[in-house]
Amino acid sequence: MTSKHTGRILLACCLAALLPQARASAERLGFSEVWAYLMAGEERYLTAELPVTDVGYFGAGLNAYGKLVGVPGRAGLKGFGGRAHLVVAEVGNYALTHFVLDPRFPLRDALVADIVAAAAPYDGVQLDFEAVPSEDYDNFFALLQLLRAGLPGKILSVALPPRVNEKTDRFGYARIAATVDRVIVMAYDEHWSGSEPGPVASLEWCRQVAAYALSKIPVERLVMGAPFYGRAWGDKSLSRAYKYSSLATLLAEKGIGEVKRNEDIPFVEYVEAVTVRLFFDDAASTLRRLALYRAASVRKVAFWRLGQEDPAVWSGLGALPEGAAPASSAPAPAAPSAPGLAPEQAAGGKGAEDPDKPAL
């Protein structure tokens, strides 16, 4: 057995020994609402013991013609006693979003009617439009107003990108918060696949995002998003196209003399060393982030997404009546879980479904 393997085993043993004690001493963080996003088909992750008050049910989106498709049936959440919200998402197609939002085209009103009809069995509707062209911000606001009028008695919520100052807040946190019931601030992807390596949501950045959100959104309507996923970066990107002269140089650099052929098409194989840097969240870091939000008087949080979390995080969460004061001290974080993520957890976060872009 190598020293590396011995070290890993010792680390796992130490974590296992410390985990019960650390969790037992942890004070539970209370939030009046705990939202969690759930993908249709992954209902197994929504279990009865989770302190989840609201589920954002994913699956609905727009087809190439701007029609609402993929609406999950509320029956998929059978047994869940909290509130269920139909999430309507378009996260990557700017052109489609423009044609849907611009009232000069005959798509918007039909979409509103479809959403209102699909919302019938749900407690609320959430819009998650992450590919809104800058010239359509006012049109997006108009869509929210139409939905507000068409959904009396339903909870209307919207997911918005994280902002730290008014200059970059072109959606207008304040005006949107005056129209909808909940604003979910997606406080993650501070670093994304196209950026330099770094935390998905560093604590200092989260502090700035929360401070700005609280300055524009009434606390009773603000829901701070938190990630359950991690991201990895390699120091080399090896997928690319080559022109022949570059290939000749590469073969010479790698000392490749033999070229194989597959049905007369030449190919070679070689080994390249890649250093990977991975940032992720465990129960300890997640609870630190939640304690930061709680100390700032944030009452509601949302997690992206169920099935990606360190299960130990749930032991640090509890219910808190609306309007109750935050805890006087931050809870002791749970000890990190032993390494080893399930395949679903290692698959990535929201960026696996949307285009990666900076959070401005």
Burial class from Cβ neighbours inside 10 Å (0-12, 13-18, 19+) for residue 149 reads exposed
137 and 171 in contact (C-beta within 8 Å)? yes
Let me know how many helices (H) and strands (E) the chain has, helices first. 8, 15
Buried b (16+ CB within 10 A) or exposed e, 54-93: bbbbbbbbbeeebebeebbebebbeebebbbbbbbbbbee
**Looking at 33, 43, 130, 190, which residue is catalytic?**
130
CA separation for the pair 239, 134 (Å, rounded): 32
Residue with tokens 């995080």: 313
Is 130 noted as a catalytic residue in this protein?
A: yes
Question: Catalytic amino acids?
Answer: 130
